[in-house]
Structure 1
Amino acid sequence: MNRYLLSIDNGLTETKAVLFDLVGKEIAISKAPTPVVNQGPRSEVDMDRQWDITANCIKAVIKQSGIQAGQIIAIGGSGHGAGAYLLDKAHKPLGMAITSMDERSADLVEAWSQESIHACDLTCHPVWAGQAIPILRWIKLNEPERYKNIAHVLAVKDWIKFKLTGRLSGELTDASNSGLINLALKAYDPVILETFEIHEMMDCLPPLSHCDEIIGHVSQRVAEETGLQEGTPVVAGLFDVVACCLGSGIVNQEAFSMIAGTWNINSAIEKGTEACQGQTKCSLFADGIQFIHVESSATSAVNLEWFIDRMFRSLGQKTLPPEELYLLLNQGVDQLPPSETGLFYLPFLHGSHLAPNISAGFTGLKAGHSVFHLVRAIYEGVAYAHRMHIDLLRAGGVKRELAVLSGGAANSPVWCQIFADVLGIKVATMEASQTGALGSAVNAALAAGIYADYEEAVIAMTRQSSAFYPGPDSALYQENYLAFKTLLGALETIQ
C-alpha cells in the first residue's frame, strides 16, 4: 500500500492542504482564501474560522485524492511567520489573531528604535511591527484587560497543531523568527521579555520542539471532522520561509531562496550569524545548526494582486478566470521591451524599510502607455525591490550565483526572466507548484524516518524545472535599477 505525507500551509493569502507521495510528487491539493481582515493598520484573522477552513481543506484533499486516510503516515505544517495567535485559560481564542502584516505597533517600534531599545545581541533580529513582542506590548498598553487574560501565545501553525492534537507546542524556527528566543541558547530568555516590558508573558509561551519532532497525534474529534485517521502523527512543522528553502532544494550555502508572494522574501543559509546587520533577520534553519538570513518586506506579487483587484474585480464586471487573465497579461507584457521611457512602479503598498517614507505609485506615466506597460512596470518594480533586499544580504557578505524563485511570480516565465536580468544571476524555478508545502513534507518525511537527513530528503523529493539566465536586456536593467534607486532617494528628500 502506498504511503503519503500531508502538508498544511497556513499563509496570509491562502490556506492549503497538499498531499505528497514519498518522493515529493504532488498527489492532490485543496486551498481556500485565508480569512484575513485588513482595516487601516490592522491585519487580523478569526481563528475559529481559520480552523474551519483548514479542516475543510484537509477533508477535501483526502476526498480528491481517493486514498485511504490510514495511508497518510505524517502531517507536516508551515505558516506565515510572526504575528500573535492568543488563547485564554480555557484554550479559546482571545479575540482576533493578529497577523505579521499588522502595523498598529509601528509607532512603538519607532520609539524603541529612537531610544535604542533592542535585544538584537540575543535574538539576532530587529524588532518590527508584525512580531509578537511589539504586538504584546501594544496590547498591554492599549487593551490591558485582554493582556491580563492571555494564557498562551502561539504562531499560526501552532494553533492548527493544537486543533489537530489538543496539545500546545511551539517550534524553534518560528520562535526564532518572532524574536522570542535567545538564538545562541535556542531557548526563551526572560531578559528579552524584560527589555520590552512584557515579562508577564514568559509563562504564556508554549514548550519548544525541534521542527521534525512528532508533537502529538490526530484526536478522535478531529478525525471525525476531517476524515483523517485518529492517531496520525503530527509534526512540529516549520516557519514558512524555512519550508520554502527546503522545498526549493536548498540545505546549505549554494543559493538564495526568493519568495515572490504576499511578501518579498529573500533568504540564504549561513553557518553563523555574523552577516546579520541592519534590518536583516536571522532565524534558525531546520537542522537546528545553520541559520537562515532573511531580507524581506511586503513589496512583492501582492502589488499585482492589488492592481488586478482595483482595475478589474472591484468594478463588479465579469472578468476572465484567473488563469486566463494571468496568461493574457503575461502575453501582453512579453511583447513589450524593457521600460526605456522612465516608467517606474514603486511597490510600497504596505511600506518597507527599503524606502520608509515612500508609498506605492507609478511615475513617468504617459498617454501612450497601455495596461500592459503598467503591468510590466509592476513586474520590474517588484524585481527591483527584491534586488534591493538581495544587495543588503550581499553587503553582509552573503553572496550566491543562483536564486531559486517560488511564489506567484515563479509561474510567469516573462517575470522570471526579468528577475534574472535585474539580479544578474541565474534564476531557477521548481517542478513543485507548492514549494512551502513540499518543504513541510520533506520535514515530515524526516520525522517519519523515511530519510536520514535533510540533504537526502531534498535530493529525493525536490526537482528544478526551469532556468533563466541574464540576457541581452540585463545591461539596460542594471541602468534602470540605478535610476530606480536614484528616484527613491529623491522622493525620500521631499516626503
Structure 2
Amino acid sequence: MNYYLGIDCGGTFIKAALFDENGKIHACERENVAVISEQSGYAERDMPELWQVCANVIRRTQKSSKIRPHFIKSVGISAQGKGAFLLDNERQPLGRAILSSDQRAQAIVKRWQAEGLEEKVYALSRQGLWTGHPASILRWLKENEPERYQRIGYLLMSHDYLRFCLTGELYCEESNISESNLYNMTTGQYEPQLARLLGIEEIAGKLPPIIKGNQIAGYVTEQAAQACGLAAGTPVVGGLFDVTAMTLCLADNQPHKLNVILGTWSIVTGISNEIDDQQAWRFAHGRYVEPGKFLIQEASPTSAGNLEWFVKQWNLPYEQINQLVAALPPAQSAVIFLPFLYGTNAKLGMTAAFYGMQAHHTRAHLLQAVYEGVLFSLMTHLERMYQCFPQVKTLRVTGGPAKSAVWLQMLADLSGKTLEVPEAEEIGCLGAAIMAAEGVNGNGDALKPHQAQRVIRPNQANFDAYQNKYRRYQKLVKLLEQMAEPLQIS
C-alpha cells in the first residue's frame, strides 16, 4: 500500500494527515500555531516557528500511523491564501510573515479605490483591492518600512514557504498566486502592469516561477528529513490554496450546487469554465486545478471566529451554546449582531456591533444573534453568487459550524436551500494529498472515496421570519457604513 501526506496550514492550526491510496485516513495530528498581533490590525507569524511546528506535526503523524517513511510516496500542502512570506537574497526569513487577515494596509486600499484603480486592476487580475493581498502588503512596506522592502529577495505565500523548507526550492503555486493582484488571469502569468499600477514595480524580479498544484516542486532534503521524519528524497508537489483544496473535495461540478466553507472565514465557491465579463459584480477568480477552469468565490472573515471570541469570554461549551440557541424561537429576537470582529464584507473599516438589546435580553439572545449574524453575512455572499450560478438549489457545507445541527438548520431555513454536509475528514489535508498522488501517479481520483453525507431540508415555516430579520440586518449595515473609518494603526 502506498501513502500520501497532506498538510493543511490554516489560520489557527497546522494539521498533517496520512491517506492510503483508497482515501482512508490512517493518522492525523494538529498543533496550534500562534498569530502575533502586537498592534491594532496586525496579524503576523514567526516564520521559523511555523516551520518547526509543521515539522513536529509531520513527525507525530508519521509516528502515530506506524507507517515507515519510505511508504509515503509524496507530500502536498494546502494553506490559507494571500498574505506575504518574505525571504531576503540569502533565502532567510525577512521578519515575520504578514497574514491575509492583517489590516494595516486599509488606508492604502481606500486611497487606491478613491483614485479609481480598482477597475483597472480587476480587468487584469480578476481580483478586487483588499488589505490581505500581497500587493497591498508590499505597498504598505514600501511606504512604512522602506529598508525592509528594499531587502526583499523573494515573495512567497504560506505553503510556498513550507514547501521551500521541505525542499530548498522556490516556487509560487498557481491557485494561490493567481489571487495576489500580481497575476494576469487571462494569460496565466505574472503581470508587470499590475505591479506598476500599484506602485510596486520593483517586486517583479522577486517572484519565483509559477508551479501547478500537482507538479513536483522538489524533494525532501536531508536537513528537512531530520527535522520532520520523512524520508529524504520524498517528492513534494506544488499544493493548493486551502479554499481550492476543500472545493476539490466538495465539488461535483453540478450547476445547481454551491460550496460553503465555514471556518474563520465564510467562503462560497463555484467552478466555471469561463470568465463572464457581463456580470455586474466583481467576483474574485482564481485558477482551479482542472485546466481551463476557474474558482469563483465570495469570502470574508465574518464566520465562526466571531463565536470563538465569545466562547473565550464566557468559557461556555459548544453543546451548551447550541442548547441555549435552540431553546429560543427562530428569528424572533430584536438583537442583531454584525460579525465584523476580524473584518467585513460590507464597507472597509466597519467593526462588529450588537444592536437592539434591551433589559429583558439574556446571554442566550446574544449567542443566537451571533449565529444569525454570521449567516446573514454569509447570505450576502450567497446572493451575489446566485447572480453567477442562478440554478442553485443545494448548498454543500463544511467547517466548524457544520457540526452544529442548530446552526445548519438555521442556514437551511434562512436560505430556503437543501444542505448537504459531507462526512469526509480533514478535507484540506485530503485535497493536498490528492495533488500529491497526482504528482507521482498522474491520477489522484483513487483518493476521493464516495462520501457519506447528511441532508438538511429547510423548514419553510421559518423562512419569512429569517428573511425579514436579514433585511433588517442589511438596513443596519447600510446605516452604519457612513461611520466606517480606516483602521488607525498605533
Question: With structure 2 as the length reference, what TM-score do the two structures score?
Answer: 0.93
Q: Which residue of 2 aligns with 1:374?
A: 366
The change in CA–CA distance for 1:355 and 1:149 in structure 2 (over 3 A counts) is: closer
Decide whether the 8 Å contact of 2:41 with 2:103 is kept in 1.
Answer: yes
Partner SS, residue 36 of structure 2: strand
Q: Which residue of 1 aligns with 2:221?
A: 219
| Cα shift at 1:93 | 0.4
Partner SS, residue 292 of structure 1: strand
Decide whether the 8 Å contact of 2:15 with 2:28 is kept in 1.
Answer: yes
Decide whether the 8 Å contact of 1:257 with 1:268 is kept in 2.
Answer: yes
Structure 1 gap ranges (5+): 313-318, 320-324
| Worse-superposed segment, 263-272 or 89-98 | 263-272
Decide whether the 8 Å contact of 2:170 with 2:209 is kept in 1.
Answer: yes
Instruction: State which of 474, 477, 480 in structure 2 corresponds to 1:485.
Output: 474
Q: Which residue of 2 aligns with 1:343?
A: 335
Letter in structure 1 aligned against 2:300:
S
Counterpart CA distance in 1 for 2:234 and 2:421 is: 32
| Cα shift at 1:342 | 1.3
Matches within 5 A, 1:91-490: 91-117=91-117, 118-251=120-253, 253-274=255-276, 278-312=281-315, 325-356=317-348, 358-397=350-389, 399-449=391-441, 451=443, 456=445, 460-461=448-449, 463-471=451-459, 472-490=461-479
Decide whether the 8 Å contact of 1:244 with 1:257 is kept in 2.
Answer: no
| Cα shift at 1:159 | 0.2
| Cα shift at 1:195 | 1.2
| Worse-superposed segment, 157-166 or 39-48 | 39-48
Counterpart CA distance in 2 for 1:336 and 1:464 is: 31
Q: Which residue of 1 aligns with 2:19?
A: 20
Counterpart CA distance in 2 for 1:193 and 1:61 is: 41
| Worse-superposed segment, 199-208 or 21-30 | 21-30
Decide whether the 8 Å contact of 1:9 with 1:16 is kept in 2.
Answer: yes
Render the CA deviation track for 1:206-246: whole Å, top value 9, x for unaligned: 11111110111111111111111111110100011111101
Letter in structure 1 aligned against 2:245:
A
Decide whether the 8 Å contact of 2:106 with 2:349 is kept in 1.
Answer: no
Partner SS, residue 441 of structure 2: coil
Counterpart CA distance in 2 for 1:435 and 1:110 is: 36
Partner SS, residue 213 of structure 2: coil
| Worse-superposed segment, 362-371 or 230-239 | 362-371
| Cα shift at 1:163 | 0.3
Counterpart CA distance in 2 for 1:203 and 1:362 is: 47
Structure 2 gap ranges (5+): 485-490
Q: Which residue of 2 aligns with 1:6?
A: 5
Render the CA deviation track for 1:238-280: whole Å, top value 9, x for unaligned: 0111111012144464521111111111111111121665452
Q: How many residues align?
A: 479
Partner SS, residue 330 of structure 2: coil
Decide whether the 8 Å contact of 2:376 with 2:470 is kept in 1.
Answer: yes
Partner SS, residue 448 of structure 1: helix
Counterpart CA distance in 2 for 1:199 and 1:490 is: 39
Decide whether the 8 Å contact of 2:256 with 2:391 is kept in 1.
Answer: no
Counterpart CA distance in 2 for 1:494 and 1:447 is: 50
Decide whether the 8 Å contact of 1:428 with 1:464 is kept in 2.
Answer: no
Decide whether the 8 Å contact of 1:446 with 1:457 is kept in 2.
Answer: no
Counterpart CA distance in 1 for 2:66 and 2:256 is: 38
Decide whether the 8 Å contact of 1:280 with 1:293 is kept in 2.
Answer: yes
Counterpart CA distance in 2 for 1:211 and 1:243 is: 10
Counterpart CA distance in 2 for 1:494 and 1:175 is: 34
The change in CA–CA distance for 1:151 and 1:493 in structure 2 (over 3 A counts) is: closer
Counterpart CA distance in 2 for 1:18 and 1:356 is: 37
| Worse-superposed segment, 296-305 or 188-197 | 188-197
| Cα shift at 1:160 | 0.3
Counterpart CA distance in 2 for 1:20 and 1:374 is: 41
Q: Which residue of 2 aligns with 1:315?
A: none
Counterpart CA distance in 2 for 1:432 and 1:396 is: 27
| Cα shift at 1:355 | 4.1
Counterpart CA distance in 1 for 2:23 and 2:462 is: 35
Note if 1:69 corresponds to 2:72: no
Decide whether the 8 Å contact of 1:279 with 1:295 is kept in 2.
Answer: no
Letter in structure 2 aligned against 1:100:
S
Letter in structure 1 aligned against 2:287:
L
Render the CA deviation track for 1:360-400: whole Å, top value 9, x for unaligned: 12222233333332222111111111110111122345542
Letter in structure 2 aligned against 1:113:
Q
| Worse-superposed segment, 82-91 or 327-336 | 327-336
Decide whether the 8 Å contact of 1:30 with 1:60 is kept in 2.
Answer: yes
Render the CA deviation track for 1:103-144: whole Å, top value 9, x for unaligned: 111111111111112421111111211011111111111111
| Cα shift at 1:451 | 2.7
Counterpart CA distance in 2 for 1:221 and 1:94 is: 21
